[in-house]
Structure 1
Amino acid sequence: MAAENPAKKMKMDIDAPLIGTHNGHFHADEALAVSMLRLLPTYAESPLVRTRDLATLAKCHTVVDVGAEYDDARKRYDHHQKEFTTVFPGHNTKLSSAGLVYMHFGKEIIAQVTGLSSSSDVDLLYEKIYTNFIEAFDANDNGVSIVAPADLEAAGLAKKFEDRGFSIASVVNRYNYVPNKGADSGKSDEEKQAEEDARFAKASTFVGEQFEYELSDRANNWLPAYTPCKKAFDDRFQHDSKGRILVLNEGLPFMDHLYNLEKDFPAPEGASPLVLYVLLPEDKPEGKWRIRAVSKQNGGFVNRKDLPDAWKGVRDEKLDAITGCVPGAVFVHAAGFIGGHKSFEGALQMAQKAVEL
């Protein structure tokens, strides 16, 4: 079937603003930009035209990643022009089309998807989603590495494995290619364009789903965890005079909040500036408890303080004998990042001894 003429697409629904982006090889940023726009009622039924024809793009309501123009008033969101230097507030990475759409529509998208009415909650998620999700799209499209290659070389560091095929951007890129290139022979340009547009639609759906999963998880799990994490942070001196042990009464995504709380509420003089261990129940507070060493950085594998070397890889009665705590020790992982006890009292004793060893 031949590709639909862009002029016909524009007549599909006069109430649905036409979105324009470029045709040809596509990237993760415009795939995400289009999918984010379509989360809003205004654009939910919007047709998409993929072209580099300026006359056609001029008839579009909103244009992303093409046209060499950034003008929010005219709904033009390209970042390729030489003079473009815009960044997200508080960040240093130059924006891509994904970042531009998110910067201007992100709060509205968050409120629409999550149903949140609190502006403070929306503001928290707006910053968090950019930092943890959108900024990587901007960096990838602008050729910015997470660590400058020159710095790695100067430090004498090399990758331990290749990860270029592991990112969302690499998945989107795979949609650019047809399984059997020879199958294109004999097809008209219109047919080829229609198939390319279909691959872009799949890529945009995929990356949009990842965005929605990220947003929903942050809204439903991360955001509600702040209040109990803050209370546990405030109460930490009840369990250790220097505030090195944090106790949560339920399993929560605590790590992000802990780093931010330490930054926002510096420890008083004489106290530890950092929490070393977090205690949390496996299921119910009256059941088994876990001791988790806090990583030096979020997502890292190096801890601020491992559980003691003598405890690593030891279980049950042997661990009771080594720790000298109330009976009921379950294990300490050989890597020293986590341990367990059958009771809160025992887990707390283990943590209190560990901070001193």
Structure 2
Amino acid sequence: MAETVAKKLKTSSPLIGTHNGHFHADEALAVYLLRLLPTYASSPLVRTRDPAQLEECHTVVDVGGVYDAAINRYDHHQRTFSTFFPKHETKLSSAGLVYMHFGRAIIAQHLSLPEDHADVDLLYEKLYTDFIEAIDANDNGISAYDPAALSAANLEKLFKDGGVTFASIVNDMNNPDPTSPPGEPQDEDSLFGRASTLIGNVFARKLHQACNSWMPARTTVGNAYKSRAEAHSSGRILILPQGGVPWKEHLYNFEQEAEAAGAEQVYYVLYPESAAEDAKWRVQCVSESEGSFVSRKPLPEAWRGVRDQDLDGVMATEAEKAGQDKLPAGAVFVHASGFIGGHKTKEGAMAMAVRSLGL
């Protein structure tokens, strides 16, 4: 009976197959990714380990012991499997396999661009690095840190985080949800469907964010980075035309691409607080690395934790002692750690950054 049903389903939309029983984040995401494409948008799913039923499926993920894209088989459990995403060293799971083969098409469809477009390549790498790779690593039992190095360094967790990851949440969804609305199915396939939708929606959000925020921000930061010497001859001050631009990752990437170090690194990023014509301006220090809280060059110690007219006064006193020109009035604040400050005008914020350079 099941074989007959499978044959009927196959004639309408490509039938997707995966294993039944306990499910994991990788096949839940793999199925969702396939269904993002027109070919599979209406595809039914068969969850089984029966070879005869799997043979009737057009595409099989995470079961069957075969990886062969030519026949749409994407399992990674066989001993001979040793496939990695380009330029990465994490062995793929079914999520990574499906993404490796179909990810470009998914992104190109979202952007309405050809698959070989440079923007598609850029996002293809980013989404794997930012999201898919962690799913692959979890399913293959690969830690984010080298266990031996952690042990040698005697590092211990400061608190119990409960291993709260998307993979662990999907794992929990194997159990019936007591908070579900009355009458909502709690059978295994229904639970899998909800888990697939949950982790798939996270990917969809990541894709949307990357296309609609990350990519435009990259262009904005890239233009500012190329013209930074026009802002100040040192090249250490970057001016963004608007606030709310996620600039950190892009700045580090552009510096890495330019092999910038030492004298070539940016110290301060300036941007308006809002789109209003009279918006105040911020001067933010660049941290030593993307995940660091240590600034490459914090704003002067004498300014830290001081506000408004008091800050103007401190700046004036410091300038007088050093025999320097007085800074424009209108300072707003400098954070106690010196990582960020503000001024009522762009010119004032720029003057704060230039003075902080100490050149």
Q: Does 1:249 align with 2:249?
A: no
- Alignment CA distance shift 1:335-1:26 (3 Å): farther
Q: Does 1:301 align with 2:293?
A: yes
Q: How many percent of aligned residue pairs carry the same amino acid?
A: 56
2:170 to 146, 169, 172: 172
Cα distance in structure 2, aligned partners of 1:302 and 1:31: 39
Q: Does 1:147 align with 2:140?
A: no
Q: Does 1:32 align with 2:29?
A: yes
Q: Does 1:136 align with 2:131?
A: no
- Alignment CA distance shift 1:50-1:309 (3 Å): farther
Q: Does 1:159 align with 2:150?
A: no
SS at match of 1:14: helix
Amino acid at match of 1:265: A
Q: Does 1:86 align with 2:83?
A: yes
Corresponding residue for 2:252? 259
| Partners of 2:280 and 2:346 within 8 A in 1 | yes
| Partners of 2:10 and 2:58 within 8 A in 1 | no
Cα distance, 1:267 vs structure 2: 4.3
Cα distance in structure 2, aligned partners of 1:60 and 1:176: 24
1:61 to 55, 58, 74: 58
Amino acid at match of 2:264: P
- Alignment CA distance shift 1:31-1:310 (3 Å): farther
Corresponding residue for 1:217? 209
| Partners of 1:51 and 1:57 within 8 A in 2 | yes
Cα distance in structure 2, aligned partners of 1:170 and 1:303: 35
Cα distance, 1:238 vs structure 2: 2.8
- Alignment CA distance shift 1:58-1:281 (3 Å): same
Amino acid at match of 1:314: V
Cα distance in structure 2, aligned partners of 1:52 and 1:308: 66
Q: Does 1:282 align with 2:273?
A: yes
- Alignment CA distance shift 1:334-1:116 (3 Å): farther
Tell me how many residue pairs correspond in the alignment: 340
Cα distance, 1:217 vs structure 2: 0.9
| Partners of 2:3 and 2:52 within 8 A in 1 | no
2:304 to 300, 307, 312: 312
Q: Does 1:95 align with 2:87?
A: no
Amino acid at match of 1:261: F
Cα distance in structure 2, aligned partners of 1:256 and 1:336: 21
Corresponding residue for 2:197? 205
- Alignment CA distance shift 1:5-1:354 (3 Å): farther
| Partners of 2:6 and 2:57 within 8 A in 1 | no
Cα distance, 1:299 vs structure 2: 4.0
Cα distance in structure 2, aligned partners of 1:219 and 1:7: 42
Cα distance in structure 1, aligned partners of 2:352 and 2:269: 12
Over the aligned positions, Cα root-mean-square deviation in angstroms equals 2.2
Corresponding residue for 2:354? 352
Cα distance in structure 1, aligned partners of 2:310 and 2:22: 61
Cα distance, 1:34 vs structure 2: 0.6
Can you list the C-alpha shifts for 1:206-232, whole angstroms capped at 9, x where unaligned? 111111111111111111222321221
Cα distance in structure 1, aligned partners of 2:286 and 2:165: 26
In the superposition, the TM-score normalised over structure 1's length comes to 0.88
| Gap runs ≥5 in structure 2 | 179-184, 317-326
Can you list the C-alpha shifts for 1:73-131, whole angstroms capped at 9, x where unaligned? 01111111112111111111111111110110011011122323471111111111111
Amino acid at match of 2:268: Y
Corresponding residue for 1:272? 263
Q: Which has the higher contact order (CA 8 A, sep 6+)?
A: 1
Cα distance in structure 2, aligned partners of 1:33 and 1:303: 40
Q: Does 1:127 align with 2:120?
A: no
| Gap runs ≥5 in structure 1 | 181-191
In the superposition, the TM-score normalised over structure 2's length comes to 0.88
Worse-superposed segment, 257-266 or 33-42? 257-266
